[in-house]
Every structure is written in C-alpha cells, then in structure tokens.
Amino acid sequence: AGNIGKPYISVIKDPHEFIVLEVSSFQLETIKSFKPDMAIFLNISEDHLDRHGNIDIYFSIKKRVFKNQTKNDIAILNQDDIRLRKLKKDLSANVFFFGRRKESENTISYIDGNSIVFSSKERKIVIDRSKIRFFTMPFIYNILAAGSALFLLDIPEDVIIDGISSFSPLPHRMEDTGIFDGIRFINDSKATNPDAVSWALSGLLNNIILIMGGEDKDLSFKFLSPHIQEKVKVLIIMGDSKEKIAKEIDFKPSFFAQDMQEAISIVKKKAQKGDTVLLSPGCTSWDMYRDYKERGEDFKRWVKKLYEG
C-alpha cells in the first residue's frame, strides 16, 4: 500500500503479518510518529525539484523515513550511492547494505559473478543468473533490496528464490509490450525523471527509438545527452517539455509529436526490424494525461492500432 494508489489506512483494518508501504517525499514531509520496523532506501536522484527546490532538500525529506527508528529497527541502504553510504552514521537503526560487491560485514546482499548472494553469519543464499528474468542493474537493485528484507525476516530460502525467479516488472515499468514487424516495444511510462531514462537505456542494446517528454519538473536533461548519443537512433519528443529536451540533449534525428498517435506514426516510418522502441518520458504525464498509467496505456493502444490495424 502507500504511494501506489492504495492508502495505508485501507489495509491496517485487517490482520497482516507484514505490511509493505511505498512512501513518497510528499508523504514524508508531514510525518510525526510514523516508524517502520524496517525501511529501505534504494537510491536518490534529482526529482520533484519543482516542489522541493534542490536535491539537498529533497534528500533531507526522503531520509525522514528513518527519523523515528530506534536500535531495534532495521535500515537497508544502497552502498553504491555515496549519499546513502554516508547516511549510516546518522541513523539509530541497525544498518545493512546491498550493492554490486561485498564491501563490509554490513553488506548483506551483492553480485558475485553471475549470481546474487544474500549472506550473514547465520546463513547464505546464492541465486544463479539463469533464474533471474532480467539481469539489468535497475532490476537487480530491486531484487537485492527486496531480497535483503526477506532474508533479514528469516523467510525460507525456497520462498525467496521462487519469488525472485518468478518476478516480472510491474506495468509501465520496462514493460515488454510485444514485438511487431520484428520491432520490440517497451512501455516505461513510470520513468518520470531523467535519471529513470538513464537506467532504462543502460539495460538495452543500441538501435533504440526513444519517446520522451511530458510536464517538466525543473530537472536538467543535459546529462542524458551522451547516453542518448551512444544508444538512440531516433528521438521523438512530445509534451510541454519538448523544446527544453530538444535544446539540452541536442540530438539528431529528433522529431516533435503533438500526441501519442503522432509519436507512433513517426515510429512506423522510422523503425526497422531489430529496433527497440522505448517509451521512457523522463517527465510527469499531467500535461497530457491523468497519470503515468493512462500514458502507458495510450502508448500500448496506439502501438497495437497502428501495427495490427
């Protein structure tokens, strides 16, 4: 529950052994007594600066999730993020890390060659890459974080392995929409900031037709330019931020689209067999849609309409 469209209050009325919440910066701004027994901080990058002003303020709000924790609680942090690694000294909870490699005795999950490892003094679980559907870093970080929580809760090994091996991305998060005329379509409408676009590109090969744009959150797109120059063959931009994105990324060939129908029409003209079409906007959807879900569904609708007829 939480920041996923399902209020916390709707689940606490029924008995549960565990309740998992996603908590946003907007919600954390006003907490007073909220105290999770276990809190996970995946990463921090520029987002919602139109509300928070700068990343330092944004970070100070996000870390409020640990504000009321005590030595009897648990904090799980991404050791590969320098801000989060430094955060350990400020926390009252027991701190555990996950990351690309084992850096200390507090690193409870990490990558070892072609495997993911969960390890403590009491037990060790090794999961081979062949059992993981998507071995890209954004997906792996999610597995390391969620798996660390399960590991620390003493969930049985077979349950952890079955859960990880059967897990697929949620809708609108690197969602494989299908292959049409030999062209792969991916719906990553939930990518509502530039950093999310960077992660999406990092998990794909070249020959990408990228659809970006939406409502600007006062974030810079400039750092995306080298990633796009390396991997993207055509950039299609839509929404209120299209002029800003075009200027800051300075990529050719680029095309402006007035709506999703026109964006997919451009794809139809430019895409070739073997290409990947990625909707990863890097912006919110509110200039054109009710939310990212409606935007993602519109993408899927026009792909099927223009390719299946």
Mean pLDDT is lowest, of 11-20, 77-86, 122-131, 178-187, for: 11-20
pLDDT at 24: 92
CA distance 212 to 235: 8
The tokens for 281 are: 């906007």
pLDDT at 104: 92
Domain 8-166 and domain 175-308 have a common topology: no
Contact predicate 236/266, CB 8 Å: yes
Backbone angles phi, psi at 173, to 5 degrees: -125, 90
In 3D space, the residue among 119, 78, 121 whose CA is nearest the CA of residue 100 turns out to be 78
Q: Which residues on adjacent β-strands are paired with residue 256?
A: 237
- Fold type of domain 8-166: UDP-N-acetylmuramoyl-L-alanine:D-glutamate ligase (3.40.1190)
**For domain 175-308, is the CATH number 3.90.1170.50?**
no
The tokens for 301 are: 């609708």
Residue 49 predicted with pLDDT over 80: no
Mean pLDDT within 68-73: 98
pLDDT tens column, 195-217: 999 989 988 889 999 999 999 88
pLDDT higher for 7 or 213?
Answer: 213
pLDDT tens column, 143-188: 999 999 999 999 999 999 999 999 887 899 999 999 999 999 999 9
CA distance 167 to 164: 5
pLDDT tens column, 214-252: 998 889 999 999 999 999 999 999 999 999 999 999 999
Greatest mean pLDDT range, 131-145, 195-209, 261-275: 261-275
185-198 in b/e form (b: 16+ CB < 10 A) is bbbbbbbbbbbbbb
CA 286, 42, 186, 293 dihedral sign is negative
Where do the domains of the chain lie? 8-166, 175-308
In 3D space, the residue among 269, 249, 260 whose CA is nearest the CA of residue 300 turns out to be 260
Rounded (to 5) percent helix, strand, coil in the chain: 40, 20, 40
Residue 68 predicted with pLDDT over 90: yes
